[in-house]
Each structure stands twice: as structure tokens, then as C-alpha cells.
Chains A and B, each alone.
Chain A
Amino acid sequence: MYRYDQYDQSIVNARVDEFREQVARRLANEITEDQFKPLRLMNGLYLQLHAYMLRVAVPYGTLSGPQMRMLAHIARRYDRGYGHFTTRQNIQYNWIKLAEAPDLLAELATVEMHAIQTSGNCIRNISSDQFAGAAADEVADPRPYAELLRQWSSFHPEFSYLPRKFKIAVTASDVDRAAIQLHDIGLQLVRQDGELGFKIWVGGGMGRTPMIGHVVREFIPVAQYLSYCEAILRVYNRYGRRDNIYKARIKILVHELGAEEFTRQVEAEWALLEPLALDAPQAEYDRIVAQFAEPDYDRAVPDAVDRGDPDFAMWLDQNVHSHKQPGYAIATISLKPVGGIPGDATAEQMDLIADLAERFAHDEIRVTHSQNLVLAHVCKADLYALWTALDEAGLATPNLDLVTDIIACPGLDYCALANARSIPVAQKIAERFADLDRQHDIGELKIKISGCINACGHHHAGHIGILGVDKKGEEAYQLSLGGSGAEDASLAKILGPGFSEAGVVDAVEKVIEAYRTVRTGPDERFLDTYRRLGADPFKAAVYG
């Protein structure tokens, strides 16, 4: 993975000093909260329901053992002993004090971590595929290009006061594990006539008006993708709406101009930018690509795994994916124990995961946008020992992509923007479906829950999506079906009138039982049954 050189370190250290001074000015009342708020947001510090929440960046979801240990230390020293992994591969702490934030950021900087641009109207964390560097289906590891984007977008002087936040995702395979069509810019690394380049989507997003992105470029050589992104951002900065925060994302601009006109404007801007030599030189690409070289694989390890322990076998079948290197596997650590809080991990669990990454996974951990963690390079021979350790710590729930592997935003339990709580809904659904045989019978089913229209739980992209709303001061929930964040991107559709919390859990069960009745067989996924038959059988089951 990428390691800072003296320039990267100097920049992060300077940012820590800058923020320390800004906090001091605020605490001395030299600047108002109105003046200070965008500055603290650009350092990832939100004021939430109970305290300040800090969102620490995990660039493209990759971190090392020592970095994970630091995150555990932060949880203990500055927070309440736990953290929450998010749908953009970052980590959030919920109980931070403003006065301590500069020291916290200084500690993070010692392990090459930061909270730069994890909030505010600027370019946010670049997200990527949690299987990058290990998946057999990728053209090349997308993360060097995510790293180049991270550097290019950090403290970009022209794009730090955008109309709204800006989210970019990068993948390198046809199978989309990062929901790139639901990002402001989605980049897929492709090969054309032997040359590496990107296919570019613009204008995807969720929130109040979910939209799927439009392809603005079928192919741009890697040598030019940064200046091309510059052109996209400039068009957005100049023409994105600033009169209404609910219409300020680039997706609205693309929608209002039309994809063709938007593309024409971007191409015209790029024609002016391209000659200015803004793109990094080949030597810089080579330098960064080299830092994502394959781990030193043991090429003599056996490919077979002893499935004797039935609990281990269940975890193996559900949570472990094939690796491009024989003898290796990709293991997903579930942060979705039934009845637990999706995406949360204690400091002790983080320390354990750091140890396991060092012992078994070449010291590398990934965060997924489904709020789980991944060890991407595990020898098959080590899987049993890994599983045993995870199981003892409550991290081996064998439910990846099953009905209890729910994505839920923090919701009204934590978030100042929420209308309703989302975590209790996730817990009740998971408890209802806790039986593993039942989960296997249902098969792949992605439930996503958001506590408000901002859709941080990605409910528009859920096979089953649940949105919390405020109904005359009471929490209520809308049910939607048929969304997908994968390469077959689609937006979930509302099924009918809303429910109470208990009602929506029952409704989900009715939907699932209806699916079991009308599917062609156990091999047909819920999503495919819905796409084949439409909403009618589910409406009938839920509303009679």
C-alpha cells in the first residue's frame, strides 16, 4: 500500500498545525461559529446529536495493522471505546471533544492518517473495490489511481468551495463492488487495444433525488484522467446550483443540462486544460503503482482447505472469496453480528484485527462500503486459525450478502439530520432472520436502511430499502424494493404506504415469504425475482 514520503507527511503535518490554530481562534472567540464551521467540516468534524463526530479518512478503504491499532487507540483515548465503519469506507467516532481534536489529528498523522476533506463541500474520500489487488477479474489494481486522485484532490485550491460535496469511486472490473454508477464521478479502469484507461460516469448519486450516472467518456488514457476530472470539477464549480442545497449536486446539473450538453461542456473545458500539463508524469504513476505491488506470495502453499469443522465450513462458504493467486483467499470479517450495531467495532476488536492482519494477511485490511472489513491476502492454510480467532471475538458471523448483512446508517440514535432510528430496525430484522438455515434458503438479499432522505444507508440501492421518515413527530418507515449498487445499477421503488417500526419488520418478512413462494427456485435471487415479476406479488403479500 501507499507509504507517505516527506512531502505527504509535511502536508498532513501542516494541516494539523493549521487546524490547531483554527480551533484556538474559535475557542478564543476570534471567529464565529458560522466562520469556523466550514473549516472544521473540511477536517471531518461534525456536530451531531450527542457530541462532535469525527470522520477519519481511510483512503480507498485500505489500511495497515499499525493504522488499525491507532484507530483502536483513538477510540480508547478520545472516544468511548469503539468506532463505526461507514458506507464510504471511512471510520467515524461519535464522542469527540473539539478541544481535543487537534491532538487526535496529530496522533493520526504519525501513522499517515488524517480527516482531511471527509466533510464539507469539497472532494471527499476516494472509494474503491475492497477486493482490489486480489480479485481475479480486475484489469489492474485500481488503488494507485485512487491514490493519485487523493493527492490531486487534497487542498485543491479551485475546488474547495464547491456547491456541495463530491464523491469519486474507482474500480477495475466489470463486476462493480464500489457502486461507481451511484457516485458523482465513477471511474472504471479498462484496457482498450492494450492501453490502460478509464470509462467515466458522471452524475450518479443517492439522497433526495437518486440518479444513476451517465457515461461521459467511453475511454480516456490513464495519462489524462486527472486533467479530465479537473474539467468535470470546473464545469460543476462554475455551473452547479447554489440556490438550493437539495439541488446542488452534480447529478442535478447533468440532469438539467442533459448528459449530451454536459459532456460537450466538459470536453470543451478539457480541450483548454489538457495543454496545460496538469497531469502527473509517467514516473509518478510508476512510483505509486510500485507501492501496490503484489505481496510476497508463498507459491508453495496448498490450495485445499480442511472443511471438517461444520461451523468453519459455513463461514468458508459464505465469507471467503477466491483470490487470483492459487493457495490464497479473500476473507470478509463481518461487523454484522445478529442484534449488534452494523459496522461498529470495539477498540479490542480493532486491535485483534490488526494482529490478525499482520499474522495472516500481509498486514493489510480493507473497509467495505457494506460496513464490513476484508483481509484480502490470506493463505488458505491459515483460514482455520483466522476463523477461530475471529469467532472468539464475535467477528465471524457467516452472513456476507445474506439477509442479516444489513447496511444501516447511524440514524436518529446518533445523527442530527435523521428523522428516525435505523439501527433498531436492522437489529430487529436480523433477529427475526437469525436462523442460518433460513438465511441460506433466502440467499443473497441486500437490505439497506437510511434514517433520513440523505440516504447515507444507501437505501435506494437496496434489494430491500428502508427509509426512516418523520410522520407527525413519530418515526415511520417506507419500504422500497429492487435497488442495486452493482454493475446492474437500479433504484429501488417504493412499495406502498409506510409502516411503524414493528410494521416494517413484519412487512420485510412478508416480502421475503412472498419471494420464496414465487421464485423459480432457490437459485433465483430476490432481486431477480423482483425484476422478473415486478412489485405486484409483494404488494399483495404486504398490503393484502
Chain B
Amino acid sequence: MVDVQDQSAVADAAPPPETDAATPVLSFRDGPAYEGPVVALAEFGASSNTAAVRLDPGDDARVLVPHLAGLRLIEVAFPKYRDGRGYSSARILREAGYTGELRAAGDVLVDQISFMRRVGFDSFAPAFALDPARVEAALDRFAFVYQKAADGRSPVWALRHG
């Protein structure tokens, strides 16, 4: 057996870990996290009144761009945390002007939280509960960031040159 340095295939991996129903959604928004039904993108249509939709890793986030105003929650699934497509989905949605709740669900560890916040996620439904103290430590860890993302933080070059 070798320490294969790179991930094994994540596409078509096992379905996302079942969320422990007792694990509350961790939210950074003002007000409560959305609790209504969430439909898969395939079932979401222009005529639907659904306010919440789920994006799987292979879904095209831009399909939702014409519908952002009517959405209260977009949940981006992370069946395997090594599959990073959801980070692009999140940032694309924020760049397109989405201001609703943007939730990362599934295989989310405390080590991914700060990147996820940077790309625009503001709530989390991890498969296994996160230690709030560790979450806070992770978010406070890096006082500075090198690049612009979707969180409005100033990159270091902006601090350097005002």
C-alpha cells in the first residue's frame, strides 16, 4: 500500500454522510438559518416557488443566476471534502450578487471553515458537529489574506498601498 499523494477519485463517491439530525446548522447570518425544504437543482424550475435549492458538485451554479432574487437558501453539497468544486460554486453565486444564505453541507471539517467563509459561505451543516471553540480559532487564525475573494476582506496589497 502506498501513501498515494493525491486523492482517490471523488466523483461518484459514496453519498454524502447523513447529517446528524441533532447537529444544528452553524450560521454566521443575522437571523435564523433557513429550515424549509430544499430541492435538488434538477427539480428546481423557473415556475417553482421553492425558496431553497441544493447544488451538487457537478451542478452549474450559474443556472441559478436568473433566480437569485427569489432564493433564500442555496445549499452546496460536499459529499467528500477533497472535492473542491463547491468553492467555485459559492464564489460564483456571490459574484453574481446573491445575498441569501449560502450553506456548505456534508463533509465539512473545521479545517475548511475559513476558506469556505472566504468564498462566501455563511452557514454550515456539517455531517459531524464542529467544536465552536475550534471554529472560532480557525476563523481568527489568519489576520491577513493575500487575495480578494467573496468575503470583502482586503487583500494584503490593499493594506500595503491604501
Direct contact of A and B (CB under 8 A): yes
Q: List residues of A whose CB falls within 8 A of some B CB.
A: 5, 7-8, 10-11, 14-15, 17-18, 21-22, 31, 35, 37-39, 41, 46-48, 119-121, 151-152, 154-162, 164-165, 234, 237-238, 241-245, 248, 272-273, 276-278, 280-281, 283-284, 287, 416-417
Chain A residues contacting B159 (CB-CB under 8 Å) are 7
Q: A5-B160, A17-B141, A245-B6 are in contact. Are A151 and B146 (CB under 8 A)?
A: yes
CB nearest neighbor in B for A158:
B87
CB nearest neighbor in B for A151:
B146
CB nearest neighbor in A for B156:
A7
| Residue with the greatest number of chain B CB neighbours at <10 A, chosen from A14, A157, A238, A241 | A157
Q: How far is the CB of A291 from chain B (nearest CB, A)?
A: 13
Q: Is B48 an interface residue (CB 8 A)?
A: no
Chain A residues contacting B95 (CB-CB under 8 Å) are 272-273, 276
Interface residue tally on B, bucketed by range? 35 or more
Chain B residues contacting A244 (CB-CB under 8 Å) are 9
Query: How far apart sit A48 and B11, CA to CA, in the bound complex (Å)?
Result: 27
Would you call A161 and B146 a contact (CB within 8 A)? no
Q: Offer 13 A-B interface pairs, CB within 8 angstroms, sorted by A.
A: A14-B142, A39-B111, A46-B3, A157-B149, A160-B115, A161-B81, A161-B84, A234-B88, A237-B87, A242-B57, A242-B85, A283-B157, A416-B2
CB nearest neighbor in B for A454:
B5
Chain A residues contacting B12 (CB-CB under 8 Å) are 243
Would you call B8 and A245 a contact (CB within 8 A)? yes
Q: How far is the CB of A222 from chain B (nearest CB, A)?
A: 14
Identify the 10 closest CB pairs spanning chains A and B, nearest first: A161-B84, A157-B118, A157-B115, A243-B11, A47-B3, A284-B157, A283-B161, A242-B11, A7-B156, A280-B157
Query: How far apart sit A231 and B153, CA to CA, in the bound complex (Å)?
Result: 20
Would you call A417 and B5 a contact (CB within 8 A)? yes
Q: How far is the CB of B60 from chain A (nearest CB, A)?
A: 8
Chain A residues contacting B116 (CB-CB under 8 Å) are 157
| Chain B interface main SS type | loop
Q: A151-B156, A157-B119, A280-B157 are in contact. Are A10 and B10 (CB under 8 A)?
A: no
CB nearest neighbor in B for A237:
B88
Would you call B148 and A416 a contact (CB within 8 A)? no
Would you call A162 and B84 a contact (CB within 8 A)? yes
Would you call A284 and B160 a contact (CB within 8 A)? yes
Q: Is B7 an interface residue (CB 8 A)?
A: yes
Q: How far is the CB of B81 from chain A (nearest CB, A)?
A: 7
Q: How far is the CB of A239 from chain B (nearest CB, A)?
A: 9
Query: How far apart sit A65 and B122, CA to CA, in the bound complex (Å)?
Result: 45
Chain A residues contacting B82 (CB-CB under 8 Å) are 38, 121, 161
Q: Is B147 an interface residue (CB 8 A)?
A: yes
Convert B54-92 into 0s and 1s, putting 1 for each residue whose CB lies closer than 8 angstroms to a CB of A: 000100000000000000000000000111110110010
Q: Is B4 an interface residue (CB 8 A)?
A: yes
Q: List residues of B whose CB falls within 8 A of some A CB.
A: 2-12, 57, 81-85, 87-88, 91, 95, 109, 111, 114-116, 118-119, 137-138, 141-149, 155-157, 159-161
Would you call B8 and A7 a contact (CB within 8 A)? no
Chain B residues contacting A161 (CB-CB under 8 Å) are 81-84, 87
Would you call B84 and A10 a contact (CB within 8 A)? no
Given A37-B3, A244-B9, 6 extra CB contacts under 8 A: A155-B146, A157-B87, A158-B119, A161-B82, A272-B95, A287-B161
Q: A161-B84, A237-B85, A242-B10 are in contact. Are A119 and B143 (CB under 8 A)?
A: no
Query: How far apart sit A38 and B7, CA to CA, in the bound complex (Å)?
Result: 8
Q: How far is the CB of B97 from chain A (nearest CB, A)?
A: 12
Chain A residues contacting B87 (CB-CB under 8 Å) are 157-161, 237
Q: How far is the CB of B136 from chain A (nearest CB, A)?
A: 13
Chain B residues contacting A48 (CB-CB under 8 Å) are 3
Query: How far apart sit A248 and B91, CA to CA, in the bound complex (Å)?
Result: 22
Would you call A159 and B9 a contact (CB within 8 A)? no
Q: How far is the CB of B134 from chain A (nearest CB, A)?
A: 9
Chain A residues contacting B156 (CB-CB under 8 Å) are 7-8, 11, 151
Chain A residues contacting B109 (CB-CB under 8 Å) are 31, 35
CB nearest neighbor in B for A282:
B161
Chain B residues contacting A287 (CB-CB under 8 Å) are 160-161
Chain A residues contacting B84 (CB-CB under 8 Å) are 121, 158-162, 237
Contact of A164 among B6, B88, B149 (CB under 8 A): B6
Q: A161-B83, A237-B88 are in contact. Are A245 and B141 (CB under 8 A)?
A: no
Chain B residues contacting A119 (CB-CB under 8 Å) are 5
Chain B residues contacting A238 (CB-CB under 8 Å) are 85, 88
Chain A residues contacting B118 (CB-CB under 8 Å) are 157
Contact of A242 among B9, B137, B142, B155 (CB under 8 A): B9
Q: A48-B3, A151-B146 are in contact. Are A243 and B88 (CB under 8 A)?
A: no
Query: How far apart sit A35 and B7, CA to CA, in the bound complex (Å)?
Result: 11
Contact of A281 among B9, B57, B114, B161 (CB under 8 A): B161
Query: How far apart sit A3 and B95, CA to CA, in the bound complex (Å)?
Result: 33
Q: How far is the CB of B57 from chain A (nearest CB, A)?
A: 8
Chain A residues contacting B160 (CB-CB under 8 Å) are 5, 7, 283-284, 287
Chain B residues contacting A416 (CB-CB under 8 Å) are 2-3
CB nearest neighbor in B for A15:
B142
